Amino acid sequence: MDIVVCIKQVPDTAEVKINPITNTLIREGVPSIINPYDLHAIEAALQIKESKGGKVTVITMGPPQAEEALREAISMGADDAYLISDRAFAGSDTWATAYTLSKAIERLGFDIILCGKQAIDGDTAQVGPEIAEFLDIPHIAYVKKIEIIGDDFITVFRLMDDGYDVVESSLPVLLTVVKELNIPRLPSLRGKMAAKKAIINKMTFGDLSADENNVGIKGSPTKVKNIFAPHAKCSPKMLHGSLEEKVESLIEELRTLKCL
Amino acid sequence: MPVVIKVDKCTGCGLCVDSCPFSCIELKDNKALISEYCNECNACLSVCPEGALTEFAPKEGILQNDQIGKYRGVWVFAEQRNGKVAQVAIELIGAGRKLADTLQVELSAVLFGSNEDEAKELVRWGADKVLHSNNPLLDRFNDEPYSQLMVHLIKEHKPEIVLAGATAIGRSFLPRVAGRLKTGLTADCTALEIDKETGNLLQIRPAFGGNIMATILCPESRPQMATVRPRVMKRNTYNPERTGNIIDVPFDNLTSRTKVLDTVNETSEFMINLQDAEIIVSGGRGLGGPKGFEILRELAGLLGGTVGSSRAAVDEGWIPYRHQVGQTGKTVCPKIYFACGISGAVQHLVGMQSSDIIIAINKNPESPIFNVATYGIVGDLYEVVPHLIKKIKEAKQ
Ligand SMILES: Cc1cc2nc3c(=O)[nH]c(=O)nc-3n(C[C@H](O)[C@H](O)[C@H](O)COP(=O)(O)OP(=O)(O)OC[C@H]3O[C@@H](n4cnc5c(N)ncnc54)[C@H](O)[C@@H]3O)c2cc1C
Ligand SMILES: Nc1ncnc2c1ncn2[C@@H]1O[C@H](COP(=O)(O)O)[C@@H](O)[C@H]1O
């Protein structure tokens, strides 16, 4: 089985704070990590390889420093890594990102493509299904369990809002995975050594038979108009006085609103 | 539009460097330098005291798509499970109605599977017409036939806006539709507006784990597509007299390489309760321990409501995850939301701030929860809540 895992390097949003005065993100000292859901995708790929044989290739599109994420994936056990990087790809939205990744994956060959459910910086969850559409293969999103992997089919549990569906697909297929699927392994010492020495393959715009109108800003139908802090300031009615008075006025308010 | 720096005005103060959420600005030789990875979010424009950062003017007319004018009307994809239309579809008809009225166009609902009775319900909730297909391949959600038919219908009817719920269904198949049509799709929106000048759809959504909000546009391609978070939009009033066209859409070339073998329902009574509750009494770390939820339960019980919580209380192990409200929990929209001992972190606020009435009880007057509260009480919840319970009991007698 040839397995391709799409991973993204993201700022650790748990560490991101807002500066309340300037309303901007404080990103000082915010570490870059592999998108947490993608760690589960890597783990799933390694487990499939362990049971069915084959090769795990990790791929990322991003700035040159995203190479660190690829090396971390190798330290977990991935065999091969590709960095898709070019200034032509700057400003890509999900459409252009998925297009570019699909053009790169096309060159690699695959039976199964794995993505995280979503990336924690944008939380869009769109890149995976879009890649599948561009490659004209089926996809199953929100996979929480892989039941059976046959030679030409796969059966998985797909998480839904009200439970789960048992879904079967022909191969090749793209899966996006949720955290329930597995527990990602930690890099081994040997893995870390391998990661240091590993050669990271690079692809630029020229290596893909891609249309320049479909990549980067030009290829992105959506534009960010502005960003702002989420606080919608309103003026609350503070209830004053002694404990009894505060509670009394609250009950009064609720009565006028016919909530009591 | 790309941001450009007027080097002569730049004093090298570095404010813009800190403002960039994507780490794309650095100081070089004491001047700001924008890297090629600029995402054009424009966050830096307003922070520069010298006005040295500006948007690069677009080349006139270069991207104008003369096709845009041909797209008219607002569509809502009405998802169904087991034949029953989901709540979120009704909410979207409420939101879509407003957009359609502002644009003075028709509002259509799109229903795959289910039956004509449900289609008529969509009209009574505010749709002008319903495109309905009862091809049996659509009864259970399946990405490929859903996206094939949606692409087909959009190409034929050319709506300018397409909305779907940000649910497992909407978020799974709509990206394929957007991919195929080469148009933009904005995920998980919490507000939608029409830009008065351009008529474009302003799609507002949280990003970076809820730390910031972003307004997204899809100015040069159509339709403008968005998935919308459940429980955020308000429903229209139900009008049993309302009539509209139910249009049967024939289409038989649907294919699928995936097959749904089984659907397993796992909704606990409770989940339904939390999202449907008219009154929610939530507690946070300020409770100090699991026992605190007992008095909240008592208050909730008196008012016929249910209990929610912040993530901190869940992380402490005081209450199970299914009670969590917020970015990584449930979005709720009750009539009254009590926040007791909750500080009001943005990730909590996104899950509850559209509640009709928010009552905050917190001993720290500086807590951000008071910024969104309708009524605020500064005080110890262990004094306020028991007293409130006593008074409500008295009032009820
Ligand atoms: C990616 C991400 C996702 C997240 N998702 C969520 C989410 O879905 N939901 C969520 O809630 N959080 C979420 N968080 C966490 C969020 O940032 C906050 O950490 C959390 O909401 C804080 O919970 P709290 O208000 O209960 O605790 P604290 O912030 O510790 O606040 C406790 C409050 O209790 C008050 N208090 C203390 N004692 C008393 C007393 N006796 N009487 C009255 N008041 C008292 C204090 O003044 C304080 O304001 C998320 C964070 C990240 C990074
Ligand atoms: N730039 C990227 N490079 C590689 N994979 C990506 C990239 N962006 C997104 N992905 C993959 O798509 C998934 C969903 O991302 P998103 O649609 O951005 O939420 C991620 O979990 C990754 O597996």
Report d(CA B75, CA A4) in Å as an integer. Answer: 36
What SS3 class is residue B346? helix
Residue with tokens 């474009």: B200
What is the band of B3 on the pLDDT scale with cuts at 50, 70, 90? confident
Instruction: Specify whether the CB–CB gap between B196 and B334 falls below 8 A.
Output: no
Report d(CA B256, CA A139) in Å as an integer. Answer: 11
Report d(CA B33, CA B16) in Å as an integer. Answer: 10
Cα of A101 vs centre of ligand 2, distance in Å, is: 9
Residue B80 near ligand 1, beta carbon < 6 Å? no
pLDDT at residue B63 tops 70: no
Residue A36 near ligand 2, beta carbon < 6 Å? no
Chain A to chain B Cβ contacts (< 8 Å): 289
What is the band of A106 on the pLDDT scale with cuts at 50, 70, 90? very high
- A:20-39 residues touching chain B, CB 8 A cutoff: 22, 24-28
Q: Which residue of B has its CA nearest to A123?
A: B207
Residue B347 near ligand 1, beta carbon < 6 Å? yes
Ligand closest to Cα of A132 equals 2
Residue A94: list chain B partners with CB under 8 A. Answer: 175, 185, 187
Residue A38 near ligand 2, beta carbon < 6 Å? yes
Instruction: Specify whether the CB–CB gap between A101 and A38 falls below 8 A.
Output: no
pLDDT at residue B62 tops 50: no
What is the band of B274 on the pLDDT scale with cuts at 50, 70, 90? confident
**Does B186 contact A at CB distance below 8 Å?**
yes
Cross-chain Cβ contact A230/B210 below 8 Å: yes
Cα of A137 vs centre of ligand 2, distance in Å, is: 17
Assign residue B340 a region (left: φ > 0; alpha: ψ between -120 and 50; beta: otherwise): beta
What SS3 class is residue B129? strand
- Residue-wise pLDDT for A25-63, tens only, equals 666 778 899 999 999 999 999 999 999 999 999 999 999
- Residue-wise pLDDT for A163-217, tens only, equals 899 999 999 999 999 988 999 999 999 999 999 999 999 999 999 999 999 999 8
Which of these ranges, B186-195, B210-219, B253-262, has the smallest mean pLDDT?
B210-219
Instruction: Specify whether the CB–CB gap between A59 and A74 falls below 8 A.
Output: no
Q: What are phi and psi of A149, to 5 degrees?
A: -120, 110
Cross-chain Cβ contact A227/B360 below 8 Å: no
Cα of A128 vs centre of ligand 2, distance in Å, is: 7
Residue type, B346: V
Residue A126 near ligand 2, beta carbon < 6 Å? yes
Residue A101 near ligand 2, beta carbon < 6 Å? yes
Comparing CB atoms, the residue among B18, B40, B187 nearest residue A223 is B40
pLDDT at residue B37 tops 80: no
**Which two three-digit tokens encode residue B159?**
């709506």
Residue A84 near ligand 2, beta carbon < 6 Å? no
Identify the pLDDT of residue B233.
Answer: 92
Cα of B167 vs centre of ligand 1, distance in Å, is: 26
Residue A219 near ligand 2, beta carbon < 6 Å? no
pLDDT at residue B60 tops 60: no
Identify the pLDDT of residue B187.
Answer: 96
Comparing CB atoms, the residue among A165, A221, A225 nearest residue B202 is A225
Q: Return the higher-pLDDT residue of A259 and A234.
A: A259
Identify the pLDDT of residue B257.
Answer: 96
Q: Is the dihedral of CA B262, B266, B269, B270 positive or negative?
A: negative
Cα of B276 vs centre of ligand 1, distance in Å, is: 23
What is the band of B56 on the pLDDT scale with cuts at 50, 70, 90? low
User: Which residues are within 8 A (CB) of B57 and not within 5 positions of it... i.e. 6 or more apart?
Assistant: B1
Q: Return the higher-pLDDT residue of A232 and A84.
A: A84
Distance in Å, alpha carbon of A194 to nearest chain B alpha carbon: 30
Instruction: Specify whether the CB–CB gap between B16 and B54 falls below 8 A.
Output: no
Distance in Å, alpha carbon of A60 to nearest chain B alpha carbon: 15
Bridge partners of B248?
B132
**Ligand 1 atom at shortest distance from the alpha carbon of B344:** 25
The interface predicted TM-score of the complex, written ipTM, equals 0.86
**Does B141 contact A at CB distance below 8 Å?**
yes
Report d(CA B34, CA B52) in Å as an integer. Answer: 12
Ligand closest to Cα of B285 equals 1
pTM reported for the whole predicted model: 0.81
Report d(CA B163, CA B175) in Å as an integer. Answer: 12
Identify the pLDDT of residue B2.
Answer: 62
- Residue-wise pLDDT for B113-138, tens only, equals 999 999 999 999 999 999 999 999 99
Comparing CB atoms, the residue among A25, A220, A224 nearest residue B208 is A25
| Most confidently modeled range among A228-237, B1-10, B48-57, B240-249 | B240-249
Return the percentage of chain A with pLDDT > 90, whole number. Answer: 76
Residue-averaged pLDDT of chain B: 90
Comparing CB atoms, the residue among A121, A162, A226 nearest residue B208 is A121
What is the band of B271 on the pLDDT scale with cuts at 50, 70, 90? low
Identify the pLDDT of residue A56.
Answer: 98
